[in-house]
A and B are shown apart, each in its own frame.
Chain A
Amino acid sequence: MGKLLRFILAAVFMLSLSVTSFAFELSKPLCLAPAKPGGGFDLTCRLVSNSLLASKLIDKPMMVNFMPGGVGAVAYNHVIGQRPDDAEMIVAVSTGSALNISQGKFGKFTEDDVRWLAALGADYGAIIVRADAKWNTLGELIEDLKKNPKGYVLGSGGSIGSQDWFKAALIAKEAGVNPKDMRYVAFEGGGEALAALLGGHIQIYPGDIAEFSGQYDSGKYKVLAVLSEERLPGKFSNIPTAKEQGYDVVWTTWRGYYMGPKVTDEQYNYWVDLLNRLVKTDEFKKEREARGLYPFTKIGKEFDDFVKKDVKRFKELAKEAGLIK
């Protein structure tokens, strides 16, 4: 019995040695969603796991695990502290995470402590009001805000310092209003904010356009501007951007992935290559559309630079708004 066990252990040991000597292959790929199921991070993970399998780029299904806590902070600390070299695992991340990193909400770790892998899709900010609101363009709204900064209540689904709040703050800035002087109400998620908009408790809702898509058809709201660089394709193509209305406000809610800091270059490049092939497949494009995301692809070094630049920009914005010292 003892001999047999020792033999098996030895065999397992040899086997594991021989595996590592080969080029890197995925055996148990995993996407970690740093939230509860059903939210945006879940969606981000499903995007890559479903399309990788559907396009047959991997033969084993990619698992999706959840680690809620601190809007991604728990997972961030876990990956850096406990599994820095786990090359099978990618972690979902978004603009919101970058914002939190920039405001020091991820503990002692910074944007330099993980390996940024890729962004595969994005949603864009939108300024939404009730259908019977007196404004028809972003300009009219901003003129009114200028005249009476405290007369209107902005509200959305994020706390102060969150993405939605920043969209509101950027609009306020355009109107020459100090973000500190605007009336902002933080709700629990976009749905609650929309209900409050409908009930007349708030007047302006800076949300995300694709997320709002389901409500758009109800005819109860109107969108004054989308916060993208250019007009969006599809059913929102008739909505003007803030830019073309003369206000330089762009807000991209990108969705991407990072890996542990001790993942080797070889392993990192394996993923870069895999995702580069993935984004060209029709399965991926279909999946991205089904998840309500617009094309936004940055992979490898390009993404790494992009995140670091974004975090830097957010830091400046946060300082300006008095969120950090």
Chain B
Amino acid sequence: MEVLSLLYNGFTVALTAMNLGLALLGALLGTLFGALPGLGPINGVALLLPIAYTIGLPPESSLILLAGIYYGAEYGGRISSILLNVPGDAGAVFTTLEGFPLSQKGLGGPALALSGLSSFIGSTLAVVGLTFFGPLMSKFAISFGPPEYFVLMVFAFSTITVLMGKRPVKSLISVVIGLILAVVGVDSTTGVLRYTFNEPELYDGFEFLTVVVGFFAVSEVLLMLEHYNSDTFHLPKIERVYISLKEFLMCKWAILRSAVIGFVIGVLPGTGASIASAVSYTLEKKLSDKEGTFGNGDYRGLAAPESANNASAGGALVPMLTLGIPGSGTTAVLLGALMLYNINPGPMLFTEQPKLVWGLIASMYIGNIMLLVINLPLVKVFTKILQIPYWILVPSVVVLAFVGVYSVNLSTYSLMIAIILGVLGYILRKLNYSMAPIILGFVLGEIMEDNLRRALSMSGGEFGIFFEGRINIVLWILVAAMLFMPIIIKIIKKKYFKS
């Protein structure tokens, strides 16, 4: 098997002392970022990215660290969700539904243990999926030319619009804002300056980190100022931190089903942990909730979203590594990391950068085992993090974010932009516009416009090129299915409630 020998080579990269250390560091920091209320994987990756980059880590090491933070945060996110009913990010919301009732019943410890195990299984299955599905996908991806990429973007944005947020119009507005932000700078085809207002600092467009720090870190603090009332949270007591085999076996199908769902949803461009956990929880409720225990602390209802959101993190790496299209907000940040290193993810990545790709995949196997070990016995230590007072936490985050933005260009100009975007982000979030579509729009904007124009250069201006070939036809059918999905769901719901 070619894949296995490639994976073996990956392990030789991942098992060097530095990369092992970085995977562990990433796992620990990720758990930390995930556990801190209000800080999710995106913030964690965004904070560490400039540091990893400026100290000159080689790309594979940097990616191992950042990916460690990514899936580590998916583990850590459950701690505050279960114990405090405070989800760290949108993906953790469904963990609170069963997790918090469990911890109120005094079962916080077993809940943490079970969610740790589910996360591990979901994550590991997704990495297995990535190992075998990734190379296949990358071979297939060669047949994606400019027209296919453009239609794929249309599909990604219709997915985001339909599935994210409460009001599709607002999700779409978020996407468009992201796309507009991406237009700023030198036009890569003609060299024309767009929306730069004669400011050389804007010639390269908005720096990715500036946008992320503004929309996430700054606006997050503004939101915290509203909800914040006391120094620390009051933690419920935790007694035993393990789960019995019987309780675990009860959840095995929930975990496996959700892992598959999570992986598949993760692979779809644009969707991420939040949708994966929502779908898996809803499905599990439909399938298993015969006694009406869901909502009052059901282990299966906890295991399902935890398995799914970790699996989606692995799935989201498939389109990112093979097509250069991030499957989620956080992979969008990882993609930004690769671009900082002048590595363009795409069909060639698996063949051109085997060290990077397979090193990353191998390190994910190792990282998940590390996380399981960290999370089962040490979970009590992490609960202590929740007791860090805000007057230490918030200023630390602000300073690290600002230094990160500053260090990319050694200029304070981008700090001002981050502040302005932070205020804008705060208003948008207050008005129920979601942030993830903005980041996706921002990252995908250039890909979308460039491929639109490339396709039209190829065809000499004929729009028919977007409807030629099997891939395009399939993609358009998927777009139509996605757009009609809310209507279909409505019809099914009507029937379901009638019977």
Contact = CB atoms under 8 A, between A and B. Distances in A.
B142 A195 contact: yes
B200 A187 contact: no
Interface of A: 36-39, 67-71, 73-74, 77, 103, 105, 107, 150, 153, 155, 159-161, 183-189, 191-192, 194-196, 198-202, 214, 218
26 contacts: A37-B56, A68-B204, A69-B201, A70-B200, A71-B186, A74-B201, A160-B189, A160-B191, A161-B191, A183-B458, A184-B457, A185-B454, A185-B458, A186-B189, A186-B450, A186-B454, A188-B188, A188-B450, A189-B344, A192-B344, A192-B346, A192-B348, A198-B142, A199-B143, A200-B145, A201-B146
B340 interface: yes
A191 B201 contact: no
Interface in B350-387: 351-352
A90 to B, nearest CB: 19
Contact of B189 (A150, A159, A183, A194): A159
Contacts of A67: 409
B191 A159 contact: yes
B341 interface: yes
Contacts of B351: 218
Contact of B190 (A39, A159, A192): A159
Interface residues of B, number: 33
B203 interface: yes
A69 B145 contact: no
A183 B346 contact: no
Contacts of B204: 68-70
Contacts of A194: 348
A238 B78 CA distance: 62
Contact of A39 (B187, B188, B342): B342
B146 A68 contact: no
Contacts of B53: 37
B30 interface: no
Interface of B: 53, 56, 142-146, 186-191, 200-201, 203-204, 340-342, 344, 346-348, 351-352, 409, 446, 450, 454, 457-458, 460
A49 to B, nearest CB: 14
B142 A150 contact: no
Given A36-B340, A186-B188, A199-B144, A69 B200 contact: yes
Given A38-B342, A192-B346, A160 B458 contact: no
A189 B188 CA distance: 11
Given A36-B340, A39-B342, A191-B348, A185 B146 contact: yes
Contacts of A200: 145
B467 to A, nearest CB: 16
B344 A191 contact: yes
Given A71-B186, A74-B203, A185 B457 contact: yes
A149 to B, nearest CB: 11
Nearest to B204: A69
Contacts of B346: 191-192, 195
A195 B188 contact: no
Contacts of A107: 200
A74 B144 contact: no
B472 to A, nearest CB: 13
A71 B203 CA distance: 9
B409 A68 contact: yes
Nearest to B353: A191
A236 B450 CA distance: 33
A105 B145 contact: no
Nearest first, the 3 A-B pairs at minimum CB distance are A201-B145, A70-B203, A38-B342
Contacts of A37: 53, 56, 341-342
Contacts of B457: 153, 183-186
A36 B146 CA distance: 26
B238 to A, nearest CB: 46
Nearest to B147: A201
Contact of B344 (A69, A153, A161, A188): A188
Nearest to B459: A183
A90 B47 CA distance: 32
Given A185-B457, A200-B145, 14 more contacts: A36-B340, A37-B56, A69-B204, A103-B191, A186-B188, A187-B450, A188-B344, A191-B348, A191-B352, A192-B348, A196-B145, A196-B146, A199-B143, A199-B144
Given A38-B342, A74-B203, A199-B145, A105 B191 contact: yes
Contacts of A184: 457
Contacts of B200: 69-70, 73-74, 77, 107
Specify which of A184, A195, A199 lies most central, judged by the most chain B CB atoms within 10 Å of its CB: A195
B342 A36 contact: yes
A105 B186 CA distance: 10
A192 B345 CA distance: 9
Nearest to A161: B191
Nearest to B409: A68
B188 A73 contact: no
Contacts of B458: 153, 183, 185, 201-202
A191 B345 CA distance: 9
Specify which of B143, B144, B188 lies most central, judged by the most chain A CB atoms within 10 Å of its CB: B188
Contact of B203 (A69, A183, A188, A201): A69
Specify which of A160, A185, A198 lies most central, judged by the most chain B CB atoms within 10 Å of its CB: A185
A150 B460 contact: yes
Contacts of B460: 150, 183
Contacts of B56: 37
A67 B409 CA distance: 7
Nearest to B349: A191
A235 B187 CA distance: 37
Contact of A187 (B143, B187, B454): B454
A101 B277 CA distance: 53
A195 B348 contact: yes
Given A68-B409, A183-B457, A159 B188 contact: yes
A37 B407 CA distance: 13
A111 B203 CA distance: 20
Contacts of A198: 142, 347-348
A37 B204 CA distance: 15
Contacts of A183: 457-458, 460
Contacts of B347: 195, 198-199
Nearest to B190: A160
Nearest to B340: A36
A180 B348 CA distance: 30
B189 A70 contact: no
A206 to B, nearest CB: 15
B190 A38 contact: no
B198 to A, nearest CB: 9
Contacts of B142: 195, 198-199
A270 B204 CA distance: 35
Contacts of A161: 190-191
Contacts of B340: 36
Contacts of A189: 342, 344
Contacts of B454: 155, 185-187
A160 B431 CA distance: 42
A192 B457 CA distance: 16
B324 to A, nearest CB: 9
Contacts of A150: 460
B492 to A, nearest CB: 39
Contacts of B191: 103, 105, 159-161
A315 B75 CA distance: 58
B206 to A, nearest CB: 12
